[in-house]
Structure 1
Amino acid sequence: MLAPHLRLPIFLTVLLGVTPVVAEGMDPVFRVHFSNGVISPTVIEVPANTRFKLQLQNDGSTPIEFESVPLRKEKVLGPGASSFLVFRSLEPGDYAFFDDFHLDMPPARLVAK
């Protein structure tokens, strides 16, 4: 758990969309943007066997749902909302995810190396 005096600066960097520098002992953060069915980036390389955070941002005008069957994760975000998912550890591999509210669009992938 972060000390109280460290929480506010980290919250502000996430809120303002600034990519924070990952200090020793902190989890790496990877950003995913959703906009009316479009996911960006479509491929995200993450460290295998390492805890990390996936920051989700809905930049579109419609709700989105991050959904991944192999990762067993889902999260709904309204227009303009942001949230995050924490992954404790992923085995090396390729994990598909998609926007369950925009099934006509292609899925994206997390690649753990």
Structure 2
Amino acid sequence: MNTLHCLFRVHLTGLAAIGLILPLHVHAEELPSYALTVANGRFQPETINVPAGQRFKLIITNKGPGPEEFESFELRKETVLGAGVTRALVFAPMKPGVYKFFGEFHPDTAKGQIAVK
């Protein structure tokens, strides 16, 4: 057997072993999703209720006009969205409490909270 043939055979054997360890199709559990819209410098809804101890996804849509930022010091999350942009943020399981967020471009009006129960 030549060297190239041996390397090819070892490579295929390694791939087969990996295939046995890692499934080809991984079906992740779908995360609960909550919609948040920002328009004219205001978040809607202002309060998002989520269950404690469960990962979730927040889907934020900026209906404009202009950019807005979702920011929370407590949650250590932030993202800037241009007008017409939708983004998703995934949150780790949280303890019960109220976690505030705001829009940096409209800090006086773009305010909200995530209530974890």
TM-score range, shorter chain: 0.7 to 0.9
Map Cα deviations across residues 74-109 of structure 1 (whole Å, 9 max, x no partner). Answer: 000000001010001111100000111111215201
Aligned equivalent of 2:57: 53
**Which residue, 75, 79, 82 being the options, matches 2:83?**
79
- One-letter code aligned to 2:38: F
* Contact 2:42–2:111 (8 Å) recurs in 1: no
Correspondent of 1:70 among 59, 63, 74: 74
| 1:28 maps onto 2:32 in alignment | yes
Which one has a bigger Cα radius of gyration? 2
Q: Which runs of 4+ in 1 moved over 4 A?
A: none
Residue 60 of structure 1, CA deviation: 1.1
- CA deviations on 1:48-77 (whole Å, 9 max, x unpaired) are 110100000001111000000100100000
- 2:93 partner SS: coil
Does 2:43 correspond to 1:39? yes
Q: Distance in 1 between matches of 2:60 and 2:95?
A: 21
Asked if the contact 2:33–2:57 (Cα under 8 Å) also holds between the matched residues in 1, the reply is yes
3-state secondary structure, aligned to 1:32: strand
Amino acid at match of 2:39: S
Q: Flag structure 1 segments of 5+ consecutive residues without an equivalent.
A: 7-23
- Aligned residue pairs, count: 93
Between Structure 1 and Structure 2, the one with more helix by share is 2
CA RMSD of aligned residues (A): 1.8
CA displacement 1:24-51 (0-9 Å, x = unmatched): 9311000000012110000110111101
Q: Which runs of 5+ in 2 are unaligned?
A: 1-24
Q: TM (normalized to structure 2)? A: 0.74
Task: Specify the code of the residue in structure 2 equivalent to 1:32.
Answer: L
